[in-house]
Amino acid sequence: MSGPNDALVALFRELAELTVLDEGSPNAFRVRAYENAREAIQTHRGDLSALSERELTQIDGIGKSTAKKIREFFDAGKISKVDKLREKYPPAFVELSKIPGLGPKTLLRLRDELDIHNVVDLRAAISDQKLRELKGLGAKMEEKLSQAIDRMGLTGKDKRTPIAEALPIARALVSELASLPEVEHAQYCGSLRRFRETVADIDIVVASEKPVEVMDKFVNFAGVRDVIGHGETKTSVLTSSGLQVDLRIVEAHQFGAACQYFTGSKAHNIKLRQRAMDRGWLLNEYGLSDAESGKVIASETEQEIYEALELTLVPPPMREDHGEIEQAQAKALTPAVKLEDLKGDLHVHTSLSGDGKSSLEEIVASAAERGYTYLAITDHGEDLALNGVSCEKLREQRKQIDVLAGQYPKMRLLQGVELNIGPEGGLDYDEAFRRELDWCVAGVHSHFDLDAKLQTQRILRAMEDPTVDAIAHLTGRKIGSRPGIELDIDAVLQKAVETRTAIEINAALPRLDAASDVLFRARDLDVTIVINTDAHHTRELARMEWGALQATRGFVDPARVANSWPRKKFLDWVENRRALKS
């Protein structure tokens, strides 16, 4: 997913966001043009910088005006249109557009009519009951916005940014840094590397012998908006969305120590430092050294530091002092789930779903390219408004799948569906039809505000159904914008064991559902896990990488991940569990 075009992708994302404000609508022609261009850039394999404006327009999704902007980026290192829009819409104002329920038209009215420019202004206006004075807005809107702001934690220094927003920014910056001739290594660290759901800032560590040059180039990156502090070893900047980035530069022989230190967590580091002290050593961002002589024991790689402390290297997502140091000491650390362990994807959509963007043929071809030996196509069940699929259409799809199966002999294609769990646990279609399907995931897509008891009953009932093989995105949350349904997690996990229903790790960054604390709670239970991308576009099959990190963060033993199993074992498991439930 990372590549030389990341910075450009990030700029086009920002351009689209700012244009939504400028045009007052997410559906404006220009917004769509920028989004199409972003998709095209993201999907393009190869070096865009070598292409002329004319050649760029030959690429699907790139028009004349966007081609001009792409050339401007490669020639001048910026897009002047972005700079203009940034001036017009400062970060504190753009931040308001992230509040769910606050559309661009309303936002511009709040600015023009009530002089609201940031969250503090908005909070004040809500508490003074000013919004209800505007035509079309009422007390209800005030309450809704007030709750949304609370939920997002947007105010104060506790403000945290969802991983889905921070990770692409960090990756773009890191790949831009890594491409500088003066840079030997670059790595984002901190909570983001530990794969926390939200982050306070982005911490980046770079190894270079020319820190001054690197810092000077960094503060002029297109994605950097303001410079807070600019020094020789540490520089802090704000990105256009107001996210703080701290860049630290060390010498190459200290890179491992700096990455270890700045990845944290604090609790993990404290325990590690204690271990060092017990041995008469010191551990800090420069390395592990002898307290008396100062002689360096390890500093170049994280591996060397952990080994010197007689520990197995702990994968970053586990470094939260959740028992990983004790496990690592006993040489019994839960193994990380690795991307290459995963042999199939069991929740993907095609254009048959109203919201699917890639055809069945495209999805299957991309899955084959990833080397998968099995794949479940799971378009939306018919109960989902707008995007659901009738059983007639699914029967036609079955024929198409059978034809494709002949073309991809190395991959078993399963026809499945993503069922909708109704408010009382009911499911789409009739049971006889559901039994015709090879694999079903079932998820909650409506009625998010029932109480915990009803939500739990609803999920338990779905799990009891013989055709439900896995529960998709357990709580339906969207990190930072929609809380998940409330559940009695232990009852759900217990039922999963009893009915042998798998729990999905949905790898989409805004979801990462089941959450890592749920997975952590399941670690001593015989719960089967599946890691799925829920892809609606071929590009999203690459999310699998995030699913593996989420599983690792939840201490999920790879042996419990059904789609890490060889095909026969996986298919036998599906058959057996269905037989057991019938």
Alpha helices in 377-467 (DSSP H): 391-407, 431-436, 452-464
Q: Is 203 in the site for ligand DGT (CB under 6 A)?
A: yes
Quick one: 164 or 401, whose CB is closer to Ca ion?
Answer: 164
Cβ proximity to ligand DGT, 172 vs 199, nearer residue: 199
Q: Quick check: helix, strand or coil at residue 177? A: helix
Strands of the 470-471 sheet, one edge to the other: 344-348, 374-380, 412-420, 439-443, 470-471, 502-506, 529-532
Using the rule CB under 6 A, give the single segment among 7-15, 92-100, 258-266, 346-354 that binds ligand DGT: 258-266
Residue 516 touching ligand DGT (CB under 6 A): no
- Rounded Cα distance between 441 and 130, Å, is 46
Angle in degrees, 0-180, between the axes of helices 119-127 and 104-114, rounded to the nearest 10: 70
Residue 529 CA to residue 544 CA, distance in Å, equals 14
Q: 347-362 burial, b if ≥16 CB within 10 A, otherwise e?
A: bbbbbbbeebbbebee
Sign of CA dihedral 109, 111, 115, 117: positive
Number of amino acids touching Ca ion (CB under 5 A):
4
Interface pick for ligand DGT out of 182, 201, 362, 545 (rule CB under 6 A): 201
Least CB distance from residue 509 to ligand DGT, whole Å? 16
Question: If binding is defined by CB under 6 A, does position 486 make contact with ligand DGT?
Answer: no
What is the residue type of 92?
A
Q: Which stretch binds ligand DGT (CB under 6 A): 142-150, 172-180, 199-207, 228-236?
A: 199-207
Query: What span, in angstroms and rounded, lies between the C-alpha atoms of 434 and 233?
Result: 60
Nearer to Ca ion, 197 or 203 (CB): 203
State the nearest-atom distance from the C-beta of 558 to ligand DGT, in Å.
Answer: 26
316 binds Ca ion (CB under 5 A): no
Q: What angle do CA 138, 144, 149 make, to 5 degrees?
A: 130
**Closest CB to Ca ion among 264 and 547?**
264
Closest separation in Å from C-beta 317 to ligand DGT: 12
CA dist 245 and 96 (Å) reads 20
Tell me how far apart the alpha carbons of residues 220 and 338 are, in angstroms, rounded to a whole number. Answer: 36
Using CB under 6 A as the binding rule, whether residue 270 contacts ligand DGT is answered as yes
Question: For Ca ion, which residue has the nearest CB?
Answer: 190
For residue 387, give the 3-state DSSP assignment.
Answer: coil
Q: Which of 104, 264, 344, 443 binds ligand DGT (CB under 6 A)?
A: 264
Beta strands of 190-343 (E only): which ranges? Answer: 198-199, 202-208, 224-230, 234-239, 244-250, 281-284, 287-290, 296-298
The answer to whether 239 contacts ligand DGT (rule: CB under 6 A) is no
Among 56, 177, 199, 541, binds ligand DGT (CB under 6 A): 199
First to last CA, the chain: 42
Stretch of residues binding ligand DGT (CB under 6 A), selected from 259-267, 296-304, 485-493, 515-523: 259-267
Q: Shortest Cβ contact with ligand DGT: which residue?
A: 264
Stretch that binds Ca ion, among 34-42, 186-194, 218-226, 456-464 (CB under 5 A): 186-194
Residue 454: name its binding partner from ligand DGT, Ca ion, none (Cβ under 5 to 8 Å by kind). Answer: none
Q: Is 402 exposed, middle or buried (0-12, 13-18, 19+ CB in 10 A)?
A: exposed
Residue 452's binding partner, choosing from ligand DGT, Ca ion, none, with beta-carbon cut-off 5 to 8 A by kind? none
Using the rule CB under 5 A, give the single segment among 190-198, 316-324, 359-367, 444-452 that binds Ca ion: 190-198
Q: Are 89 and 21 in contact (CB under 8 A)?
A: yes
Residue 553 CB coordination number (10 Å)? 28
Residues 25-84 that bind ligand DGT (CB under 6 A): none
- Which residue lies nearer to ligand DGT by CB, 255 or 262? 262
Question: Does residue number 269 form part of the binding site for ligand DGT (CB under 6 A)?
Answer: yes
Q: Which of 168, 190, 344, 558 touches ligand DGT (CB under 6 A)?
A: 190
CB 318, min distance to ligand DGT, A = 13
Report the residue from 180, 200, 297, 450 that binds ligand DGT according to the rule CB under 6 A: 200
Alpha-helical (H) ranges within 24-79 are: 29-43, 53-57, 64-76
Distance CA 251, CA 247 (A): 14
Residue with Cβ nearer ligand DGT (191 or 563) = 191
Pick one of 201, 213, 285, 290: the residue that binds Ca ion (CB under 5 A): 201
- The identity of residue 198, as a single letter, is T
Residue 256 binds: one of ligand DGT, Ca ion, none (C-beta under 5 to 8 A by kind): none
> Number of helices (H) and strands (E), helices first, in the chain?
24, 17
φ, ψ of residue 152 to 5 degrees: the values are -80, -10
Q: What are phi and psi of 524, to 5 degrees?
A: -100, 5
For residue 269, the partner it binds in Ca ion, ligand DGT, none, with Cβ less than 5 to 8 A by kind, is ligand DGT
Question: Cα angle at 31 between 197 and 387, to 5 degrees?
Answer: 65
Answer for which of 14, 203, 302, 304 binds Ca ion (CB under 5 A) is: 203
Q: Are 148 and 168 in contact (CB under 8 A)?
A: no
Nearest distance from C-beta of residue 194 to ligand DGT, angstroms: 7
What are the residues binding ligand DGT (CB under 6 A)?
A: 190-191, 199-201, 203, 261-262, 264-266, 269-270
Residues within the interface to Ca ion (CB under 5 A): 190-191, 201, 203
